[in-house]
Amino acid sequence: MRNFLRTTALATALLAVFPAAQAATQSYSFLGTLNAIQFSGSFSFDDSALAIFNAVEPLLTVAPVASLSMTYNDVSYSLADAWGPADVSYYNGAFLGLSYSNNAMSFIPGMFNTVDAYVTDGLNSADVIYAPVPEPESYAMLLAGLGLMGLVARRRARFH
């Protein structure tokens, strides 16, 4: 019982030091190959800015992209190179992809998920692969949990 109380107190202290992540900034990386040339990059946006796209389809929400960087054919592109607004789309809470165009390519989000998202140069198209980038707080919580498990294992080994 004493160990249970001590462990509970330690867990409570860790939660106070590392509160649950409430950050609204989401980051994604992406990559693919268009015309036998690889492209890759990343972007971020504030998910608290998600707004209903139109009243006819209230499950479709969009948010403006806050930052973007990518490389294609040894040329670097940023949000400043966009030919209009750059945003991300969600449908019923599922990430659909990026909507962004520059002089080399356009990113088209999927209809219901990222499986049918693609990039195009106007003549050819290719798949794009998106991956969420974990927030630093996630790594801190992972390391804290691993450290706690190590302490528990060490303590058990010492008393057995």
Read off the pLDDT of residues 29-48 as tens digits, 9 standing for 90 and up: 999 999 999 999 999 999 88
Nearest to 47 by CA among 7, 95, 4: 95
Residue 147 pLDDT more than 80?
no
Read off the pLDDT of residues 63-87 as tens digits, 9 standing for 90 and up: 999 999 999 999 999 999 999 999 9
Boundaries of every domain in the chain: 24-152
> Tokens representing 105?
């390519």
Cβ-based neighbour number of residue 4 at 10 Å: 8
Cβ-based neighbour number of residue 92 at 10 Å: 11
Please give the pLDDT value at position 45: 92
Nearest to 40 by CA among 83, 77, 10: 77
12-29 burial string, b = 16+ CB within 10 Å, else e? eeeeeeeeeeeeeebebe
> Tokens representing 76?
């670097």
> Tokens representing 9?
């107190």
- The letter for the amino acid at 31 is L
> Tokens representing 86?
């750059």
Length of the chain: 160
CATH number of 24-152, picked from 2.60.40, 3.30.450, 2.40.128, 2.60.460: 2.40.128
Residue 6 pLDDT more than 70?
no
Can you give the pTM of this predicted structure? 0.70
Please give the pLDDT value at position 21: 45
Cβ-based neighbour number of residue 77 at 10 Å: 19
